[in-house]
Copies of this chain bind each other. A is one copy, B any other.
């Protein structure tokens, strides 16, 4: 049904003739088409909440860059909004929550999201599936419970998320109650995305790396595990950025793919995660600022280290908005021209 299904086959651990590639944040500011559209709109949320526009932006990198998977254009913060905690996206500053969660009563006032609360993204997925017409798979996504929790307590981005981390220490009861509600909402949302057509779902734990190993075990891992256990319909990817100390645990999750950031040594990560997962990553996003000859060299080196099978090529983090398109193209082309050197 899907013409280029390399991404899904690699995710499931089936043998592939070449390594598939997509880029985190590929639908975004790196593309002039995106910037042109964005400049005509009132704000970022208009793009997220208008299915036709989200669909258009999702397809831009597919047409322009020839990636092997599309990822629906949305934002991880649609979940808090659907739970009753709305946010604003402040230009050049990032997300801002006028109200934050501070007490157990605040948690109790929040609802568990229903799929229809995020109907705009589900509609965008349906539209995109139709427009893709089976060319490549479509990825759905959500933030991991700890990362969503961090924004709901802190109220904005932060270098340290010290308020959110302090809450874990100060009020474990509140923390678990909120994490549980986020988890239930996320499961509903991901199942909605799958029903709408998502071929794989990825959970981004963007702030996993600032937790202590004990905090990760107590407040992050159990909730990701619940999500992994609940999602049986399609393969799932878990990307716990920076949580190098949790790689063995993440390898035990019931998910198909594990994200690898650029700090992580590839061979060590494989040893810790185990042989039964597909690894996704991990070129340094800054590598794409280099001259193309250097990008090519680094990409080939990465491909060889991953070994060709059970690998989905990507950056180790979202592509930075000012990355030159020539660098992005060189990365994608190098991966797509590289033939797996095994007897498939």
Interface residues of A (CB under 8 A from B): 159-160, 162, 165-166, 168-170, 209-213, 215, 242, 244-245, 262-265, 284-287, 289-291, 294, 320, 322
Question: 15 pairs across A/B with beta carbons < 8 Å?
Answer: A162-B285, A162-B289, A162-B322, A165-B286, A165-B289, A170-B290, A209-B263, A211-B263, A212-B263, A244-B244, A244-B245, A244-B263, A245-B263, A245-B264, A245-B265
In the complex the two chains form, what is the Cα distance from A320 to B159 in whole Å?
12
Contact A162-B286, Cβ < 8 Å, known A169-B294, A294-B169: yes
In the complex the two chains form, what is the Cα distance from A150 to B286 in whole Å?
14
Known: A160-B285, A162-B289, A215-B284. 9 other contacts (CB 8 A): A159-B159, A160-B320, A162-B285, A162-B286, A166-B289, A170-B291, A210-B263, A212-B284, A213-B265
**Chain B minimum-CB-distance residue to A169:** B290
Are B263 and A213 interface neighbours, CB within 8 A? yes
**Chain B minimum-CB-distance residue to A166:** B289
Number of copies of chain A assembled together = 2
Determine the chain B residues whose CB is within 8 A of the CB of A160 once the complex forms: 285-286, 320
Determine the chain B residues whose CB is within 8 A of the CB of A287 once the complex forms: 169
**Chain B minimum-CB-distance residue to A160:** B320
Are B245 and A170 interface neighbours, CB within 8 A? no
Determine the chain B residues whose CB is within 8 A of the CB of A265 once the complex forms: 213, 245
Are B169 and A286 interface neighbours, CB within 8 A? yes
In the complex the two chains form, what is the Cα distance from A291 to B169 in whole Å?
8
Contact A165-B209, Cβ < 8 Å, known A159-B159, A245-B265, A291-B170: no
Determine the chain B residues whose CB is within 8 A of the CB of A165 once the complex forms: 284, 286, 289
**Chain B minimum-CB-distance residue to A243:** B263
CB of A161 to closest CB in B, whole Å: 9
In the complex the two chains form, what is the Cα distance from A170 to B295 in whole Å?
10
Are B166 and A286 interface neighbours, CB within 8 A? yes
CB of A102 to closest CB in B, whole Å: 14
Determine the chain B residues whose CB is within 8 A of the CB of A285 once the complex forms: 160, 162
User: Which of B169, B212, B244, B262 touches A262 (beta carbons < 8 Å)?
Assistant: B212
CB of A139 to closest CB in B, whole Å: 23
Determine the chain B residues whose CB is within 8 A of the CB of A209 once the complex forms: 263
**Chain B minimum-CB-distance residue to A284:** B212
**Chain B minimum-CB-distance residue to A168:** B286
Determine the chain B residues whose CB is within 8 A of the CB of A213 once the complex forms: 263, 265
**Chain B minimum-CB-distance residue to A209:** B263
Are A289 and B170 interface neighbours, CB within 8 A? yes
In the complex the two chains form, what is the Cα distance from A264 to B210 in whole Å?
11
The 10 closest A-B pairs by CB, nearest first: A166-B289, A169-B290, A165-B286, A212-B284, A166-B286, A212-B262, A162-B320, A162-B286, A244-B244, A213-B265
